Chain A
């Protein structure tokens, strides 16, 4: 089945720890995106990538890092510099000028 796979579904971070969220797609989409959603709020863009080996900061990139070494994969690292990481993280992908489609999300909490 074609789609976007995010893992893990739930993740817990200890103080001072970096954690990495996985996002893989087999839709052959060029563009991939990471969003953060806090309770009662809309989606805020963290990073996006339009081609392999290139990515741009979104509106709230501080404390996060990404890589895009393969077209299919766009992992997000939540670093210890992100002081309020508890949120629902959503990965999306799209073709050029087409709507984005989302994975099932990863829920990150602090231990």
Chain B
């Protein structure tokens, strides 16, 4: 079983729809969860961080975390063509004196079509 697994893509949604990206993780000690957006040929850019159970909203983005189910998701409301990118889920276990290594999922390709 992969340590961090994302829903298989590619995911295609029409402009204005809600895009739902999902991620499960295997390490119950994981404490911090991040979503990165990566445009083709570019480096990943941090778009959301979530640390406690529940929802966290930032503009059109909502991150949801359920530690009991070991599940984290990203919702993108009113999807725009500019949201078309690969979305990477990353999980951190920052126990002890460790700075906290990130484990990444394989990414989900999102295409928003006009």
Contact = CB atoms under 8 A, between A and B. Distances in A.
A, B in one complex = yes
Interface of B: 4, 32, 34, 42-46, 49, 88, 90, 92, 94, 98-102, 104-107
Given A48-B101, A102-B44, A105-B43, 12 more contacts: A33-B102, A40-B107, A41-B107, A42-B4, A42-B104, A48-B99, A90-B44, A94-B99, A99-B34, A99-B49, A100-B46, A102-B43
Given A90-B43, A99-B49, A50 B99 contact: yes
Nearest to A50: B99
Nearest to B105: A42
A104 B106 contact: no
Categorize the interface residue count of chain A: 20 to 34
Nearest to A4: B43
Contacts of B49: 99
Contacts of A104: 42-43
B-side interface mostly:
strand
Given A31-B99, A41-B106, A97 B44 contact: no
A94 B105 CA distance: 19
Contact of B88 (A40, A42, A58, A96): A42
A40 B108 CA distance: 9
**Chain A interface secondary structure, helix, strand, loop or mixed?**
loop
6 contacts: A41-B107, A44-B104, A96-B94, A97-B92, A99-B92, A103-B43
A43 interface: yes
A45 interface: yes
A43 B104 contact: yes
Contacts of B104: 42-44
Nearest to A29: B99
B101 A96 contact: no
The 8 A-B pairs of least Cβ separation, nearest first, read: A42-B104, A31-B99, A102-B43, A97-B94, A42-B106, A43-B104, A105-B43, A50-B99
